[in-house]
Amino acid sequence: MANWVTFGRFLLLFVLLGIVYSGAPALQLINAPLTILIIALDGVDGWVARRFGEESLFGATFDIAIDRIVETVLWVVLAHLGFIGVWIPLLFIIRGNLVDAIRSKGAQSGTAAFDMMQSPIGRFLVAGRFMRGFYAVLKAVAFAWILAWQPAPFLAPEFWDSYGSVLNGIGLALAWASAAICVARGLPVIVEFCANARPGAQAGKA
C-alpha cells in the first residue's frame, strides 16, 4: 500500500507538468495545491508503511528515489521557465548524485539510507524527523509559491506589474534557502562516508 502511494506521487508529478506547460492560465491556478499534495503524500506513504508494518529497505529506497525525481524535475522546470537560475537545479543534481552513490553502498549491505548516519549532527540534519520535515515543507512552499504566480501576469496583469518583482523575490529567497539546506544535509553524508573510507577507519571501530 505504501509503495502505491509513493508511485501515485510519481504519476501526479506528470499531471502537474502537463498543467504547467498547458498554456492555460485558469488551469494553472491549481499549480500550488497540486504541488503541495504531491509533496505532502511523502509523509503519507511513510505513515502507511509504519501503520501497516510495511517498512522495508526497498520501500525506503523507492521513497527516496521518487523524492529525488520530484524535486529535480520541479527545479529543472522552474529554471526552464526562467523563475530561478540554472545553478539551483545543477546544485541539487550534483548533490543528489553524490549522496545517492554513497547511499547505494549502504543499500548493498542492507542498511537504509537514514540509518547510515552515525554522528549526532548527521542524525539531526539528515535522519532527524524535524529536519526532514522542515526541508520538505521549505521545498513545498518554494515550489508552490513560485508556481502559484505563473498565471498571474495573464489573469491579473495590473496586480503583477505592481507586485510581481516582490513576489518573484520571495520565490527566489525560498529557492536559495532550499539550496542552502540541501547542501547542509548533503555534507554530513559525504563527510561521514569519507571518514569511514579512510584506511584503518573500520579497524579502529573494531
Q: Per the confidence metrics, is the pTM higher than 0.85?
A: no
- Domain segments of the chain: what residues? 2-199
How many whole angstroms separate alpha carbon 129 and alpha carbon 125? 9
Return d(Cα 129, Cα 140) in angstroms, integer. Answer: 16
| Residue range 137-170, pLDDT digits in tens | 899 999 999 999 999 999 999 999 999 999 999 9
pLDDT of 55: 65
Confidence of residue 201 (pLDDT cuts 50, 70, 90): low
- 176 burial (CB, 10 Å; 0-12 / 13-18 / 19+) is middle
State pLDDT tens for residues 18-68. 999 999 999 999 999 999 999 888 776 665 666 666 666 666 777 778 888
Answer yes or no: CATH 1.20.120 is held by domain 2-199. Answer: yes
Count Cα atoms within 13 angstroms, Cβ side, for 120.
0
pLDDT of residue 111: 54
SS3 content of the chain, % helix, strand, coil (to 5): 85, 0, 15
Radius of gyration of the chain measured on its C-alpha atoms: 19
Q: Exposed, middle or buried, 186 (CB in 10 Å: 0-12/13-18/19+)?
A: buried
Give the list of residues 6+ apart from residue 159 with CB closer than 8 angstroms, or none.
152
